[in-house]
Structure 1
Amino acid sequence: MEQTTAVPISKPKPQTQRPGKYKRYMWGFIFLLPAIVIFTLFLWLPIFKGVLNSFYNVDFVKGDTFIGFDNYKTIFGDRYVMTAVRNTLYYMGLALVIGFWVPIVFALAISEMRRFQGFARVAAYLPYVVPFVVLYGVWRWLYDPVGPINSVLKAIGIGQINFMVDRAWSMASIVIMETWQSFGSAMLIYLAAILAVPRDWYEAAEIDGAGIWQRIRYITLPAIRNQILLLLMLQLIATSQGFQTQYAMLDGGPNNATLTYALLIVRYAFVRQDYGVASALGVLMFFGLSILAIIQYRINNRGGVQS
């Protein structure tokens, strides 16, 4: 009988325990900790406190009193709230009609320049660095009934326009001023996107006989559509919170023509000192802006709308 020898079974070597996930990323968490603390103290805690205050009658002397949804009832019973909402939507629409296309046009024009392109970039961006105090003073002078703009209008036979007094012109005047001041930053973003388009595409289009308008329509604009959509959402979010210029230039006038939603919150908080209603207004605004922020995040995360 054939004798078999038993082969010794080797015991598996004990696996070395892998370091834990939190231990491996410990230094990352340590470096993130200051930012987390700052965001918590100056962003999330005020948001939580604002939501809480919206259910209270805030009184710094006698103490806060819980009143439930009375602050929200006050909002829906205030006729100025709907005025502020309409003005804000009107302001957002004017900013799109008047100002949104300006940086796109300037970026396209500068990208087609063969000389002095660097000078044009600097000149277009310079208004963005003008301090707001100087900006408001200069444009008040420009809009004055005897200022340069009205002098030119009278010279060409149009007549005087009361930019700061006429309800029909007050909000448009603000949008024109803000467009001049801020289009340079968006223009640089568009210009960077245009310059990133492969030059081979333009050369092939020129060989096929495409003119400048065909190149812009079929190459440039489709190539930067993601940036256009992203900056559109950013502008909607920014203009929905507009109040600084309306407050500094006209204080919501004339006759509440420039009273925006954010400016109404400021009035409730610091003029009427009704922090409960101001907090309730802020909560409603927070939820509205959260929807726009989610849309912006999805667009940015997906790299824009796919064709």
Structure 2
Amino acid sequence: MSQTATIPASSLDTPSKRPPAKWKKHLWGYLFLLPAAIVFFVFLWMPISKGIYFSLFHIDFVKGNAFVGWDNYERIFKDPEVIIAIKNTLYYMALGLLIGFWVPVFFAIAISEMRRFQGFARIAAYLPYVVPFVVLYGLWRWLYDPVGPINGIITKLGFDAILFLPDKAWSMISIVIMETWQSFGSALLIYLAAVMSVPRDWYEAAEIDGAGVWKRIRYVTLPAIKNQIILLFLLQLIATSQNFQTQYALLEGGPNNATLTYALLVVRYAFTRQDYGTASALGVLMFLVLGILAVIQYRMSNKEGA
């Protein structure tokens, strides 16, 4: 008598379970991200899109906007102040790197090497960052005054007083020194966290091999925080290329346009000359340049594993 294999009815009636679609799997995550995405779109990408759109128009709030095509961009390249602003911005960025970039690195390493009062040194280094800008500008105007404390020390040493703000040769340098003192505390915390995350075994091994302080810094600390140095280097380039507050508040771009930066020129076009179309075109060109820097930062960060 032949026997045939039978398939249980339950296995025929039950459909095979398929894994949920990928979007269903992450649905709740997308829903939680949705409010942030909406805010990001409304307050960032919509203004950027409108800026690109308005750069092709002559903006008139009374008579209405008129399409002018590339005329705003042509006006930019014919304006001699644009070249001055670009040169001043590049000079400002170079001074920021030369004077201010190495300061937080130096202090972070110095504080990490301290055996006592390390907590006090961290707080003292960060305190200038919490000073309001209004107080900061008043303080440094007094310090830079021809009869102020700094010139008082200079004249006591037998040198002539320096006109820090009115002199074209000193105005931008004075601004960079002031901003370095005020803002290096935030970068210092990032560097200090990076230095503190270096395994202590590396330093102990270097000490066993006879390495002194300078060799430990050169062969252990600096290579270990290389990623943070590259990242903050690019972030400082982006930040200084956008800055205009100090130049505007202290000197309004003077003396004789010596501190006129690119971002300050955009403000002048928009709020002084009320030429919003050309100001939008200037903003679009800045957006393209900063976009390139952001891509470089992203690629270098991924490459270095920062």
- TM-score, scaled to structure 1: 0.95
Contact map agreement 1:246 1:258 (CA 8 A) in 2: yes
User: Which one-letter code corresponds to 1:248 in the other structure?
Assistant: A
Q: 1:7 aligns with which of 5, 20, 30?
A: 5
Q: Which residue of 1 aligns with 2:209?
A: 208
Deviation at 1:249, TM superposition (A): 0.6
Q: Map of 1:128-147 to 2, 5 A cutoff?
A: 128-147=129-148
Deviation string 1:46-73 (CA, Å, 9 cap, x unpaired) is: 1000000000001111111111000000
Gaps of 5+ in 1: none
Name the amino acid aligned to 2:254. G
Q: Counterparts of 1:304 and 1:107 in 2: how far apart (Å)?
A: 21
Which segment drifts farther, 28-37 or 290-299?
Answer: 28-37
Q: Distance in 1 between matches of 2:199 and 2:18?
A: 50
In 2: Cα distance, 1:195 partner to 1:107 partner = 9
Distance in 1 of aligned mates of 2:268 and 2:173: 22
Cα displacement (A) at 1:207: 1.4
Q: How many residues align?
A: 303
Q: Aligned runs of 1:257-268 on 2, under 5 Å?
A: 257-268=258-269
Which residue is 2:241 aligned to?
240
Q: 1:212-246 CA deviation, whole Å, 9 max, x = no partner?
A: 11100000000000000000000000000010000
Report the counterpart of residue 285 of structure 2 in structure 1: 284
- The CA deviation string for residues 93-116 of structure 1, in whole angstroms up to 9 with x for no partner, is 000000000001101111111100
Deviation digits for residues 125-177 of structure 1 (CA, Å, limit 9, x no counterpart)? 00000000000000000000000000001111222110011111000000000
Return the letter of the residue paired with 1:219. V
- Write the letter of the residue equivalent to 2:164: F
**Rounded Cα–Cα distance in structure 2 between residues aligned with 1:104 and 1:17:** 55
Counterpart contact for 1:229–1:304, Cα < 8 Å: no
Q: Secondary structure at the match of 1:102?
A: helix
Q: TM-score, normalised by structure 2?
A: 0.96
In structure 1, give the amino acid aligned to 2:162: I
Which 4+ stretches in 1 moved above 4 angstroms? 9-13
1:21 to partner: Cα distance: 3.0
Identity %: 68
Find out whether 1:104 has 2:102 as its counterpart: no
- Counterpart amino acid of 2:40? F
Give the 3-state SS of the residue equivalent to 2:286 in structure 1. Answer: helix
Where does residue 220 of structure 1 map in the other structure?
Answer: 221
Contact 1:237 1:289 in 2 (8 A): yes
Q: CA deviation at 1:4?
A: 4.7
Distance of 1:184 and 1:36 partners within structure 2: 31
RMSD, aligned α-carbons = 1.4
The residue type paired with residue 5 of structure 1 is: Q
**1:1-307 equivalences in 2 (<5 Å):** 4-8=2-6, 13-304=14-305
Maintained 8 Å contact 1:193/1:227:
yes
Q: How far did 1:24 drift?
A: 3.1
Secondary structure at the aligned position of 2:193 is classed as helix
SS of residue in 2 equivalent to 1:163? coil
